[in-house]
Amino acid sequence: MTRSCAKAGPGPRAGARRTTLGWIAVAVIALCVGVGNPGWGADVDARRAELEKLKGQIESNRGEIEKLRAREAEKEQLQVTIDRDRDLTRRYLEQLAAQERDLRDSQSERQKDLLALEVRIDETTDRLRRRLLHYYKLRHVKGGELLFSSNSFPEVFARSQFLVRMIEHDRVDLLALAQDRAEAARVSSQITERRQELDGLIAEKKREETRLAAEHADVGRQLAGIQSERQAHEARLRELEETQSRIRKLLEQLEKARSEGSGPAVGGDFAKLQGRLRWPVRGRVVAEFGFEVHPKYGTKVPQNGIIIAAPEGTPIQAAASGRVEFVDWYDGYGRTVILNHGGGFYTLYAHASAVLVHRGDTVTAGEEIARVGDTDSVRGFCLHFEVRRQQDALDPRDWLSP
């Protein structure tokens, strides 16, 4: 009887168990694939959405450039639009760099996951290999002999339970091995996919950097002959006057909200900082507060602040604590930040290449809020800095520390 049992093939119940085990393995593997790390791709997806948004803005702006080149009457707007294109491209490159960092971080995490899976697979495989060797050594020992050679019924029961547990343990190991191998294949596929995405992103970043450098070198030639020097100067003056009007209107609205108590309160005692205000950037003052007389045409250009020349990318710091009221583009000012310090006092920072804060943020004195750039600047890389009390521009020299 023992011999016939040993030679008999698996019965219907054993086949059913294998079928059930197969479905369990499939279900568990599917669950592992579905769960994963829920937050792993969130940052990458957010970066991708921001990149698509910026890419759309760049394409729209470049279309406007081509229209302006074809229309003689709007040529003076070309400089502003080209500067805007350079600004959008810089922001796009910033987002590309951020997504590159995110992808590299996620690649590192996936590599760690894959390494852990490979270690676990090796351990399980080794354990099953040793178990198989043990079974091989016991191949001549028949099940009945192993059980009924016992001296008592409890011993028979104990041996049978041991065999059941051993077989169940091996079944669990086999299921875990199948799950780990499936997960390792999935992670390996993700790594390959992310690597391809990263390679494409790096190539795109290099193309945009090359295009930006070429455009920066060629912008002077593109604008040559568009208008005379006087026309350009007068257009710039009108642009600055219009921007000054917009700034005054914005500050007037903020002051109205403050007086009516409808705007958020801003603490601090800015007036006590007169003569002790922190310099917003390290650099050289190249234009003072007041009116600047053009050496050739004798026209007066209003200078509502000071201009500090500094290398591209130099940190711009908040001159005092306050709340960010404005972050956007102003013609003649480029990328601009306005801080509200309470009591009707404001500071303005213009021509930034990158802005690190958002409207509504609270900042402290000395906190980095932007970086020096040349957006819509005729002086190259610099910071245009203003101090205002309500709508009136004040001489920053009276407020900054010596």
Query: Distance (Å, rounded) from C-alpha 269 to C-alpha 32?
Result: 57
Per DSSP bridges, beta strands 368-372 and 315-317 are antiparallel
Query: Distance (Å, rounded) from C-alpha 344 to C-alpha 115?
Result: 59
Q: Which domains does the chain have, with CATH numbers?
A: 10-223 (no CATH), 235-398 (2.70.70.10)
Closest CA to 401 of 384, 382, 380, 387: 387
Query: Distance (Å, rounded) from C-alpha 176 to C-alpha 278?
Result: 63
Q: How far is CA 11 from the centre of its chain?
A: 60
User: What DSSP character marks residue 279?
Assistant: P
- Confirm if 147 and 159 have CB atoms less than 8 A apart: yes
Query: Distance (Å, rounded) from C-alpha 305 to C-alpha 289?
Result: 5
pLDDT per residue, tens digit, the chain (402 aa), is: 334 433 334 444 444 344 333 433 333 333 333 334 444 455 556 656 766 766 676 676 666 666 655 554 455 566 677 777 778 777 877 887 777 787 777 777 777 877 887 887 788 788 777 777 766 665 555 555 555 455 554 654 565 555 556 666 767 767 777 787 777 778 777 777 877 877 887 787 778 778 777 776 666 665 555 555 556 666 666 777 777 778 878 888 887 877 766 555 566 689 999 999 999 999 999 999 998 876 555 667 788 999 999 999 999 999 999 999 999 998 889 999 999 999 899 999 999 999 999 999 999 999 999 999 999 888 899 999 999 998 899 999 999 998
User: Any alpha helices (H) in 138-152, and if so which ranges?
Assistant: 143-148
Helix (H, G, I), strand (E, B) or coil at 358: coil
- Confirm if 355 and 366 have CB atoms less than 8 A apart: no
